[in-house]
Structure 1
Amino acid sequence: MDATAGAVWGRVEQQDFRSRVRGTLLGAAVGDALGAPVDGLDMEGIRAAYGAEGVVDLGPAYGRRGAVTHLTQLTLFSVDGLIRAQVRRDTGAWHPPTDLHRAYLRWAATQRDWGPDERRKDDGWLAREEWLYARRDPARALLIGLGDETMGTPEMPKNPGEAGPEAAARSAPFGLLVGWEPQLVAQLSVECAAQTHGHPTAYLAAGAYAVIVHTLARGESLDGAVQRALALLAARPGHQPVSDSLQHALGAVRQGIPTPDRVADLAGDGTADRVVSAAVYCALVGEDVRHGLRLAVNHDGPSAATAALTGGLLGALHGETALPPAWLAELEGRPTILELADDFAMEMTQGPALHGPAGASPAWLARYPRV
């Protein structure tokens, strides 16, 4: 289906898509919030703080239960950038990586400023959400990569030695471009990851993750989604670490009952390829969303990133209604996430009616300016 041609979407199809969009964004945020209180702790430290079972429920971080980290903040700005790219297409200016870079620069401003600057009318509504103006331990690579106006590219990336998982963890929204071909989804995710994470392991892991989400959002299985990502990776120089990690995750599924040690083995040193593989494993072996997310948090690796990536996969696979309601009720920023998710679904299914040759909605263009 063409993401710009709303006429091909039936009512049931639109409802399913909206549920998967909501599920992906809420799932990633819930995973992030579940892992935030213990991010940086090993399993021994987690058990010392939470008991033998480790984390089983949302805990306090940043002064409240259900708080999210910079990973969720940036994921929301990914969505904002994708909507803006679609709106700007009307002008003939069609270069989504540039629109995503502008969105990420708006996030970077939230890390410097005390609050929204009402003089910047072209920032759109998301940048005026005051709760986003909170510094939640952003990785140094993000602040450096977005510290000036220069946009990194795969040919000239920012932070060429940076292989961390943060770029992958903001890449779920690219997978929600269900009207795009998988290779284009991968390419956009790679190009946007290189704006902050220039090591091939980091940007190829981001591309692979986006393709997995994309395949799930189209209604296919998780195992099939991983196979699709592996097939696309094979043509990319430098893909071997990412491909090997994903194959390792698939193999681990057959090794018996999941344990924190097995998740930790997959997550390894916390590079993007390893963390994505751990998330894939947790999503594959989790009995339900709650179980999968608990597996993703309770191990020696980066809990917030692993669980955010896992939540994005499970949300895309099962949709919004599979997520634990009690966790959603306490999730920081949930109204904003839902509003943004529904705007994304509206843009992708009915965009031409909102801004196109037949006319434009002033309210929509105020939310998502063309400039």
Structure 2
Amino acid sequence: MSAAATAVWGRAEQQDFRARVRGALLGGAIGDALGAGVAALTMEEIRAAHGPDGLVDLVPSHGRRGAVTAATQLTLFTVDGLIRAQVRRDTGAWHPPTDVHRAYLRWAATQHDWGPDERRKDNGWLAREEWLYTRRDPAKACLIGLGDETMGTLEAPKNPAARDAGALVRSAPFGLLVGWEPELVCQLAVECAAQTHGHPTAYLSAGAFAVVVHGLARGETLDGSVQRALAQLAARPGHQPVTDALKHALGAVRQGIPSPARIASLGEGQGAEDALAIAVYCALVGEDIRHGLRLAVNHDGPSQTTGAVTGSLLGALHGETALPPAWLCELEGRPAVLEIADDFAMEMTQGPALHGPTVTTPGWLSRYPRG
């Protein structure tokens, strides 16, 4: 966002924006943690383990209640990369996909290193968070795509056959760039998704998700935001599976009471477009965030994926204060999620006061180095 764009923000607008940023990031993490406990179970197995209503509360996974997966880890590094892109803009080096890719490489280090490398002064604070140094079921395509320093592009994408939701689940932060136009948000999300997931269905699902979050962060309705995403998809080659999935989700809203069977009609959630459709449906029909998230995780598919995407949508729509406090208080890494959410909101609304041709804030540049 440019300095000119930030100058028109009033205090109430800044507070609303911060609440939606917090909501999107915390909501996604809560949905991720809720679904993680039943990620490998079918609906029949979920009911056998948790009763006829299925999963209704956090259960232990990865050794504790409220544990998050790679979906949340990667989302945090997406935010880190976007803040770095804004900071590096002062140097004339303006290419956000490169900064996001560098952030993803820092995440990749957390998947094989024992802990933070204190010798790397350009890592910033997020890569020094020791709780992130654990492998939490990352998509294989993410590990392969970030296994070397070569950045995948739309012209030469990594893993061109990968169409799972590994890129989708990390793409909510692109939508929080509310000063950007929707087509630019979509393009950035698509380009960054292609760094690990080169199938059009995967990267276009990520782009569509970002556009929906973008509309919500701007105060638009969920239905209207989905319609805007459909409009953005229309001119892109290979969009039809994603377009069809989103239209199927909108149609399912009018077909009766929400149920696991209704969700199953949208797909298993293994493909990115199915996971996006399930999340959009659950966000549209959920009576509140708790109800929407419970719907999103009680099905045969990857519950942590659909929970994370649904949580990001509902959090961006309603803001942080609508999140279930009982789940929020047990969330792994909550202080770090809040910290980076507030840093993102501050950078996007007050960046020129933190760094620029005439202003240098050493504390900020140590958190988000230009290197």
**Do the structures match in fold with TM over 0.5?**
yes
Gaps of 5+ in 2: none
Contact 2:70–2:137 (8 Å) recurs in 1: yes
Instruction: Report the secondary structure of 1:65's partner residue.
Output: coil
| 1:345 is the counterpart of 2:349 | no
Aligned twin of 1:110: 110
Per the alignment, residue 139 of structure 2 pairs with 139
Structure 1 contact 205–276 (Cα < 8 Å) conserved: yes
The separation in 2 between residues aligned to 1:82 and 1:360, in whole angstroms, is 19
- Residue equivalent to 1:237: 237
Match of 1:92, as an amino acid? Answer: G
1:217 aligns with 217
Given the superposition, is the C-alpha separation of residues 289 and 269 from structure 1 closer, same or farther in structure 2, using an over 3 Å criterion? closer
Preserved contact between residue 269 and residue 278 of structure 2 (Cα < 8 Å): no
CA contact (8 A) 2:213 2:313 kept: yes
Amino acid across the alignment from 1:74: L
For 1:36, the equivalent position in structure 2 comes to 36
1:164 aligns with 2:164: yes
Following superposition, the deviation at residue 6 of structure 1 comes to 2.7
Equivalent residue number for residue 14 of structure 2: 14
* 1:254-278 deviation digits (Å, cap 9, x = unpaired): 0000001111221335100111010
Please tell me whether the aligned partners of residues 138 and 166 of structure 2 are also in contact (alpha carbons under 8 angstroms).
Answer: no
Q: Which runs of 5+ in 1 are unaligned?
A: none
Cα shift readout 1:153-181 (whole Å, capped 9, x = no counterpart)? 11111000000011011000000000000
Instruction: Provide the C-alpha distance between the structure 2 equivalents of 1:180 and 1:108, rounded to a whole number of angstroms.
Output: 28
How far has the Cα of 1:2 moved from its partner? 4.8
Partner of 1:321: 321
AA partner of residue 196 (structure 2): T
State the partner residue of 1:282: 282
Residue identity opposite 2:157 in structure 1: P
Q: Is 1:85 matched with 2:101?
A: no
Q: 1:341 to 1:269 in 2, by over 3 A?
A: closer
1:189 matched to 2:167? The reply is no
Q: Secondary structure at the match of 1:54?
A: coil
TM-score w.r.t. the length of structure 2 is 0.99
**Runs of 4+ more than 6 Å apart:** none
- Displacement of 1:251: 0.2
Equivalents in 2 of 1:148, 1:254: separation in Å? 46
Distance 1:61 1:127, change over 3 A: same
Q: Which residue of 1 aligns with 2:53?
A: 53
Matched, 1:72 2:72: yes
CA RMSD of aligned residues (A): 1.0
Aligned residues: 371
**Aligned runs of 1:227-266 on 2, under 5 Å?**
227-266=227-266
Summarize deviations over 1:124-182 as a string: whole Å, max 9, x none.
00000000001111111110000000100111110000000110110000000000000
TM-score, normalization by structure 1: 0.99
Distance in structure 1 (CA, Å) of the matches to 2:16 and 2:267: 32
